[in-house]
Amino acid sequence: MNAEDVVRYLQDNPGFFEDYAELLAQIYIPHPHGGRAIPIAERQILTLREKSKMLEVKLAELIQFGEENDAIGEKMHRLCLALIAAGDTQGMLQALYYNLREDFAVPHAVVRVWRPGNGALAGSEFAPVSDELRQYAAGLEHPFCGPGANAEVASWFGEAAAQLRSFACMPLRDGGNACFGMLALASAEPARFYPEMGTLYLKRLGELAGAALQRYR
C-alpha cells in the first residue's frame, strides 16, 4: 500500500475518523511553520485559519473594488449631468475638461472633432487633422492606453507633450458608429495609462463625450 492508496481509502470512507476518533489525537505531523510536531486535529485548525485569512483578504479586495467602482460611477454621473446641462459647444467642452481635471485627476485632456455638420466650428477642437489620424481613430475598437501615443495626438498637448509619459485615446462615434473625433487623455505618470489596464470606463467616457458632441456638429 502506498500513499495514494491511503488517500483513496480515506476519500472513499469519510466516516473512518468517526470510528477511530482517538487517532486524531495520536497522529502527529510537522507544524506548517517548522519546529515541533502537532496533532492532525491541530493542523486542521491551522489550515482552516489560514484559509479563513485568505478569504478575508479576498473579501477585502472585493469590497475595495466595489467601493472604487461606486466612486467612479458617481463621477461619471456628475459628468453626464454637466454635459447635459451645457448650453453650447464651449460650455460642453469646458464641463468635460473641468470634470476630467477635478473629478478624475486628469489635467491633460484634448478633444478633436472632424466632419462638422455645418462648416468649420471655432476652437482648437475643430482644427484640421490628417487622414492618417482619422483612419487611426476609426480603427480603434477599444481605447488605446500606453506610453507611445500617435505623434499627431501627442502634438495636440503643445508644450506639455514633452513631460507626458502615458496616454489614453478614445474614438468619438455617432449613432451610426462612424468615427467623427477623438478624446485624448495624458499624464506625466508612466503608469497612469498602461496597455494591460481595464478600459471599460474609458470606453464609456468616450461614448459620453461623443453623444454630447453630436448635438453641436
Residue 160 to residues 109, 131, 163, Cα–Cα distance (Å): 11, 24, 6
Range of the structural domain that residue 127 is part of: 88-216
Mode of pairing for the β-strands spanning 108-113 and 37-39: unpaired
Last residue of a domain, which of 85, 109, 132?
Answer: 85
The amino acid that residue 174 corresponds to is D
Cβ 181 vs Cβ 124: under 8 Å: no
pLDDT digits (tens, 9 = 90+) for 152-200: 999 999 999 999 999 999 999 988 889 999 999 999 999 999 999 999 9
Q: For residue 117, give Cα distances in angstroms to 14, 30, 121, 131.
A: 75, 77, 9, 18
Q: How many domains does the chain have?
A: 2
Q: Which of 39-53, 104-118, 135-149 has the highest mean pLDDT?
A: 135-149
Domain shared by 97 and 67, yes or no: no
- Which residue's entry shows cell 485559519? 49
- The answer to whether residues 21 and 109 belong to one domain is no
Question: Is residue 17 located within the same domain as residue 77?
Answer: yes
In terms of domains, do 99 and 43 share one? no
CB-based contact 133:150 (threshold 8 Å): yes
Q: What is the pTM of this model?
A: 0.72
Q: Are residues 81 and 98 in the same domain?
A: no
Among candidates 192, 146, 188, 189, which has minimal Cα distance to 169? 146
Quick one: cell of 129? 487633422
pLDDT tens digits, 144-162:
999 988 899 999 999 999 9
pLDDT band at 115 (very low <50, low <70, confident <90, very high): low
User: For residue 177, what is the domain's CATH number?
Assistant: 3.30.450.40
Residues 56 and 151 grouped into a single domain:
no
Q: Could you give the angle at which helices 40-85 and 200-213 cross, rounded to 10 degrees?
A: 10
- Of 25, 50, 85, the last residue of a domain is 85
Share of the chain above pLDDT 70, in %: 82
Domain boundary pick from 59, 85, 111: 85
| pLDDT at res. 9 | 74
Give me 205's grid cell: 467616457
* In a shared domain, residues 95 and 194: yes
50 and 111 co-located in one domain: no
Q: Quick one: cell of 64?
A: 475595495
More confident residue, 201 or 40: 201
Mean pLDDT along residues 46-50: 81
Q: Examine the domain organization and report whether 95 and 187 are in the same domain.
A: yes
Rounded to an integer, the average pLDDT of 72-97 is 93
Torsion of CA 58, 59, 62, 64, to 10 degrees: -110
Residues 105 and 192 in one domain: yes
